[in-house]
Amino acid sequence: MDGRKPLAGPAVETLTAGERLLLWSFRSWVSGPGHRPMVLREFGRVFPSEEAGVAIRGLDRAIAAIAGHARREIVHHPVCAQQVAPDEQAVIAVFAALQEERVDLAVRHAAWLVRPAGVTPVVTAAAALAHAMIENDLMLPYRPLSGVADDRQPAVVLHH
């Protein structure tokens, strides 16, 4: 941390149900193994049993690809934070672009987060969860990002 004030992104309360689920799942999953059972339970509740496994594998693989190929430390807020960090916005944007079948936009956002070798693994893994979310009416509106390239950092960092 460099002592700069965290970037204030959009408020979590302004997000759709799908965006909140994805954001909470992302934050919980990267917060460590102790939080993962909550995500598994929530996915089991939200998705039909035959889709829950596909959805959780998509989340796990997307996060693993981001962590394994990150261009830099990926910054995220704690699970209960009420603002969305720029890196979190970029992660949501990858999934939202895929829901709109805008692979070009998904690739651009993934490329901002990860090195070239990681773009395809991130987009491929994210597609599985993005489509499972569509099937369950969990839409992610694509929102153009502002300030994404800003290097100021919120509180928590996903190390690679």
Residue boundaries of the structural domains of the chain = 12-135
pTM for this entry: 0.85
Which of 136, 114, 132 lies closest to 57, judged by CA? 132
Which of 56, 77, 79 lies closest to 125, judged by CA? 56
> In a structure prediction context, what are the per-residue pLDDT tens digits for the chain, which is 160 residues long?
233 344 567 899 999 999 999 999 999 999 999 999 999 999 999 999 999 999 999 999 999 999 999 999 999 999 999 999 999 999 999 999 999 999 999 999 999 999 999 999 999 999 999 999 999 999 999 987 754 433 333 334 454 3
Task: End-to-end CA distance of the chain: give it in Å, rounded.
Answer: 16
